Amino acid sequence: MNQLLTLLAVAGTAYATSLSSACTTSRIRESLPDDGYLLGVTFDRDSVTANAVYNSSHSGEVFFPDATINFCNVTFSYTHTGSGQNVIVGYYMPAPDDFKSRFLATGGGAYAIQSGSMSAPGGVMYGAVSGFTDGGFGSMDNDFDDVFLLSNGTINWPSVYMFGYQAIKEMTIIGKQFTKNFYDVSNSSKIYTYYQGCSEGGREGWSQAQRAGTEYDGLIIGAPAIRYGQQQANHLYSNIVEQTLGYYPPPCELEKIVNETIAACDPLDGRKDGVVSRSDLCQLHFNMTSIIGKHYYCAASTSSSLGLGFGKRASDTEPAQNGTVSAEAVAVAQKIVDGLYDSQGRRAYISYQMGAAFDDAATSYDSATGEWGLDIAGAGGEWVARFLELKDEDNLSSLEGVTYDTLVGWMKQGMTRYMDSLQTTIPDLTEFYENGGKIIHFHGEQDESIPTGSSVHYYNSVRQTMYSGQSYNASTKALQDWYRLFLVPGAAHCALNDAQPNGPFPQTNFEVMSLWVEKGIVPETLNATILQGEYEGNNEQLCAWPLRPYWTNNGKNFTCQYDQASIDTFDYDFDAYKLPLY
Ligand SMILES: *[C@@H]1O[C@H](CO)[C@@H](O)[C@H](O)[C@H]1NC(C)=O
Ligand SMILES: *[C@@H]1O[C@H](CO)[C@@H](O)[C@H](O)[C@H]1NC(C)=O
Ligand SMILES: *[C@@H]1O[C@H](CO)[C@@H](O)[C@H](O)[C@H]1NC(C)=O
Ligand SMILES: *[C@@H]1O[C@H](CO)[C@@H](O)[C@H](O)[C@H]1NC(C)=O
Ligand SMILES: *[C@@H]1O[C@H](CO)[C@@H](O)[C@H](O)[C@H]1NC(C)=O
Ligand SMILES: *[C@@H]1O[C@H](CO)[C@@H](O)[C@H](O)[C@H]1NC(C)=O
Ligand SMILES: *[C@@H]1O[C@H](CO)[C@@H](O)[C@H](O)[C@H]1NC(C)=O
Ligand SMILES: *[C@@H]1O[C@H](CO)[C@@H](O)[C@H](O)[C@H]1NC(C)=O
Ligand SMILES: *[C@@H]1O[C@H](CO)[C@@H](O)[C@H](O)[C@H]1NC(C)=O
Ligand SMILES: *[C@@H]1O[C@H](CO)[C@@H](O)[C@H](O)[C@H]1NC(C)=O
Ligand SMILES: *[C@@H]1O[C@H](CO)[C@@H](O)[C@H](O)[C@H]1NC(C)=O
Ligand SMILES: [Ca+2]
């Protein structure tokens, strides 16, 4: 900032530092990089929009603390030479006096590549320019799945690569130079560059680590939708279990199984707080067959499933459900938790941790027959119909004839077709590491949409690839210098978990990351806060994987312990594939 003031004084330029005088279309236009700054990119200088936004208040968010911010809201577009693709980018620019030489790239969720107004404030409040992109999908209101097919059977490949990794990378490269120009800082001065996103936004974060390693100093990656070919099809696994076992549990019965699992496994972590902080101990020590025969009751309701993004269903009316938990329901629950194996008993994928909600297994009620039946999970249905079968449809109409082997086939097909675009599991992060980059990767331990173990498995893939030949402890220690994974006790998919309200959430990740990158303060544990319930506001620390949280002294003393048996429950041999599954 001093540099800027000096420059202003010396040059006597007309650039005042107040937000209102800086936030003009003419200054934005002058601040755009030159055409060709990024090879093949031409800016549409007439497309620039800019408006100053004051006293924009944000509260109740899980990815950043409450704040009231001012910023210049900028959008402009550019084209890729030789293609008709028009890409719109958006940047929230802090007032010049508030700018702290930081840039934050943000991403989206489900098939959205951006969640601009929801994510961007999380950078502005820390003096960062926050950027987002429409991916070239036509407008900020369009998602990837809206443009993925040019027609039935024909893939719009440029949109796949834009969604896969290219659009965010371009938005960051353009945004950094634009930021320097806008604040009039020299080309040689450092702009600390970050990325933050969860779910699809988490996948986008990994896409940058894997393919834009020199652009970023710090990546904050939540519950990433990586291993895309497996992850998307996996949303159908619960339905296929129900169909194969011939039992469609009423939602209340599954909810009872979840509640009983939480009640039984809560104390295994040494602290009775309604939070299953050790789903691994739950898996090792709790047998769901003990729930058989327990009574459940749910009043008639109009329900809509919780959670962000994938798997969301339209609201439904449900009749009152009154019964006892059946052996069939527990068998369905256990098979879901076990994860997908092919008919030869080889593991093809993994599932949610015990205690997580069974969203993908939701059934629907047929009031004519009075029976519960198949309700195809939308995220999986759309994936197969649109992205594998290439039909302009939002869902599959049936699962007739679909077996575990069919699902494995879909996983292989998706992985192969999108290996170099959406799969996002390249485990060699050398470029990022050598550039000095840092990664905070977190995942709700009770995620009901993207298996927690998916993150653990990728962490291990990176560890083994980057430090091959080193022992488990040596490679873990080396990796933790720059890449740390934290499982969030009780947390759902990129969200709080109403069934475990006393669980913490790492809300201050940007602060923690900027301290790591800019001041070298290593997050030995990850700062988190209980954001609802009776302990709201309490601070908690999260253990860095592979250490696991454990409380002694009647729940009073917190430790991060090394527990081999627990670590082993997160170790998977995906022997249904001949290639390694990273
Ligand atoms: C923003 O809020 C501050 C403090 O409440 C107030 O003084 C100021 O006038 C507000 N600015 C605008 C543009 O509303
Ligand atoms: C930012 O600008 C865009 C484009 O003009 C507009 O659609 C959006 O509503 C603006 N956002 C805010 C917060 O002013
Ligand atoms: C694409 O296929 C769907 C059925 O899968 C059909 O409803 C739709 O009309 C087709 N669209 C075109 C443009 O042919
Ligand atoms: C800064 O870098 C950009 C892009 O390389 C270049 O166009 C511009 O002239 C440079 N500015 C200065 C002051 O050197
Ligand atoms: C499960 O527990 C929640 C409280 O977390 C409660 O509201 C709900 O009624 C319980 N469901 C069943 C089926 O017992
Ligand atoms: C749970 O107990 C049942 C009945 O004793 C047994 O058949 C089953 O294998 C056990 N399941 C697990 C996961 O240990
Ligand atoms: C649930 O069913 C049991 C046994 O049929 C019955 O005793 C009880 O009254 C029912 N509860 C409600 C709330 O309908
Ligand atoms: C997808 O279609 C199936 C079969 O018609 C239906 O059961 C399911 O509710 C649909 N899912 C969504 C999200 O529309
Ligand atoms: C690895 O480190 C943990 C925690 O420090 C320790 O308990 C364990 O014995 C070590 N394992 C080996 C093989 O050295
Ligand atoms: C840690 O979280 C607490 C709230 O739980 C917050 O007050 C504090 O500023 C955070 N520390 C850092 C370094 O982000
Ligand atoms: C618990 O922590 C307190 C404070 O650090 C310490 O004095 C006490 O010895 C610990 N108790 C146990 C049982 O570890
Ligand atoms: Ca607990």
Residues in contact with ligand 1 by the CB-under-6-Å rule are 54-55
pLDDT at position 572: 98
Name the residue of 47, 49, 57 whose CB sits within 8 Å of the most ligand 2 atoms, as the mutation to test its pocket: 49
pLDDT at position 161: 98
Q: Which atom of ligand 8 is nearest to the CA of 313?
A: 13
How far apart are alpha carbons 481 and 433 in whole angstroms? Answer: 10
The average pLDDT across 264-275 equals 98
Mark 529-545 as b/e (b = at least 16 C-beta within 10 Å).
Answer: bbbbbebeeeebbbbbb
Q: Which ligand is nearest to the CA of 188?
A: 4
**Other Cβ atoms within 10 Å of 187 Cβ, number:** 7
The average pLDDT across 293-309 equals 75
Q: Which ligand is nearest to the CA of 500?
A: 5
Q: Which atom of ligand 1 is nearest to the CA of 54?
A: 13
The average pLDDT across 65-89 equals 96
Give per-residue pLDDT as tens, 434-482.
Answer: 999 999 999 999 999 999 999 999 999 999 999 999 999 999 999 999 9
Residue 225 pLDDT level (bands cut at 50, 70, 90): very high
Residues in contact with ligand 8 by the CB-under-6-Å rule are 313, 374-376, 378, 381, 395, 397
pLDDT at position 502: 98
Residue 304 pLDDT level (bands cut at 50, 70, 90): low
CA of 371 to the centre of ligand 5 (A): 22
Quick one: tokens of 61? 């968010």
The average pLDDT across 273-288 equals 98
Q: Is the CB of 287 under 6 A from ligand 6?
A: yes
The average pLDDT across 24-37 equals 96
Residue 13 pLDDT level (bands cut at 50, 70, 90): very low
> Which residues, including other chains, have CB under 8 Å from residue 413's CB and lie 6 or more apart?
229, 388
Of 11, 434, 372, 418, nearest to 186 by C-alpha is 11
How far apart are alpha carbons 441 and 210 in whole angstroms? Answer: 14
CA of 178 to the centre of ligand 4 (A): 11
Domains assigned to the chain = 17-226+425-567 (3.40.50.1820), 232-419 (no CATH)
Say whether pLDDT at 86 is over 50. Answer: yes
Give per-residue pLDDT as tens, 480-532.
Answer: 999 999 999 999 999 999 999 999 999 999 999 999 999 999 999 999 999 99
pLDDT at position 3: 53
Q: Which of 98, 159, 493, 566 is catalytic?
A: 493
pLDDT at position 12: 38
> Which residues, including other chains, have CB under 8 Å from residue 189's CB and lie 6 or more apart?
3, 101, 180
CA of 362 to the centre of ligand 7 (A): 23
Of 483, 457, 481, nearest to 570 by C-alpha is 457
Q: Which of 77, 115, 119, 199 is catalytic?
A: 199
pLDDT at position 301: 85
Mark 29-59 as b/e (b = at least 16 C-beta within 10 Å).
Answer: eebbbeeeebeebebeeeebebebeeebebe
Q: Is the CB of 395 under 6 A from ligand 3?
A: no
Q: Which atom of ligand 5 is nearest to the CA of 501?
A: 5
**Is 217 part of the annotated catalytic residue set?**
no
Strand partners, 322: 297
Per-chain mean pLDDT for the chain: 95
Give per-residue pLDDT as tens, 343-384.
Answer: 999 999 999 999 999 999 999 999 999 999 999 999 999 999
**Other Cβ atoms within 10 Å of 302 Cβ, number:** 8
CA of 331 to the centre of ligand 12 (A): 25
| Residue nearest (by alpha carbon) to ligand 11 atom 11 | 553
- Do the beta carbons of residue 542 and residue 508 sit within 8 Å? no
**With pLDDT > 70 as the criterion, what percentage of the chain qualifies?**
95
- Do the beta carbons of residue 257 and residue 489 sit within 8 Å? no
* ∠ CA 246-248-251, rounded to 5°: 165
CA of 71 to the centre of ligand 2 (A): 11
CA of 251 to the centre of ligand 9 (A): 43
Q: Is the CB of 75 under 6 A from ligand 2?
A: yes
Q: Is the CB of 289 under 6 A from ligand 6?
A: yes
**Other Cβ atoms within 10 Å of 473 Cβ, number:** 10
Residue 314 pLDDT level (bands cut at 50, 70, 90): very low
Q: Is beta strand 364-366 parallel, antiparallel or unpaired with respect to 316-318?
A: unpaired
How far apart are alpha carbons 496 and 275 in whole angstroms? Answer: 12
Say whether pLDDT at 147 is over 70. Answer: yes
pLDDT at position 84: 85
Say whether pLDDT at 227 is over 90. Answer: yes
Say whether pLDDT at 310 is over 60. Answer: no
How far apart are alpha carbons 239 and 359 in whole angstroms? Answer: 10
417: enclosing H helix or E strand:
helix 404-417
Quick one: tokens of 511? 């602060």
540: enclosing H helix or E strand:
strand 539-542
**DSSP string for 465-526:** HHTTTS-HHHHHHHHHTTEEEEEETT-BTTB--TTSTT-EE-TTHHHHHHHHHHH----SSE
Mark 353-369 as b/e (b = at least 16 C-beta within 10 Å).
Answer: bbbbbbbbbbbebeeee
- Side chain identity at residue 315, one-letter code: S
The average pLDDT across 280-284 equals 98
CA of 187 to the centre of ligand 4 (A): 6
- Do the beta carbons of residue 566 and residue 280 sit within 8 Å? yes
Q: Is the CB of 290 under 6 A from ligand 6?
A: no
The average pLDDT across 526-555 equals 98
pLDDT at position 317: 81
Among all chains, which residue has been given the structure tokens 């995220």? 379
The average pLDDT across 256-277 equals 98
More confident residue, 15 or 57: 57
CA of 499 to the centre of ligand 5 (A): 8
How far apart are alpha carbons 373 and 83 in whole angstroms? Answer: 47
Of 426, 250, 218, 228, nearest to 310 by C-alpha is 228
> Would the pTM count as exceeding 0.75?
yes
Residue 17 pLDDT level (bands cut at 50, 70, 90): low
Name the residue of 252, 254, 255 whose CB sits within 8 Å of the most ligand 5 atoms, as the mutation to test its pocket: 255
CA of 185 to the centre of ligand 4 (A): 11
Of 89, 54, 252, nearest to 176 by C-alpha is 89
The average pLDDT across 184-188 equals 95
**Is 441 part of the annotated catalytic residue set?**
no
Helix axis angle, 251-265 relative to 327-338, nearest 10°?
70
Name the residue of 151, 152, 384, 395 whose CB sits within 8 Å of the most ligand 3 atoms, as the mutation to test its pocket: 152
Strand partners, 164: none
- Do the beta carbons of residue 481 and residue 389 sit within 8 Å? no
Say whether pLDDT at 8 is over 70. Answer: no
**Is 199 part of the annotated catalytic residue set?**
yes
Q: Which of 443, 447, 461, 475 is catalytic?
A: 447
**Other Cβ atoms within 10 Å of 528 Cβ, number:** 24
Q: Which atom of ligand 5 is nearest to the CA of 259?
A: 1
Name the residue of 395, 399, 400 whose CB sits within 8 Å of the most ligand 8 atoms, as the mutation to test its pocket: 395
Return the minimum-mean-pLDDT range out of 154-163, 222-231, 294-303: 294-303
Q: Which ligand is nearest to the CA of 335?
A: 6
pLDDT at position 302: 77
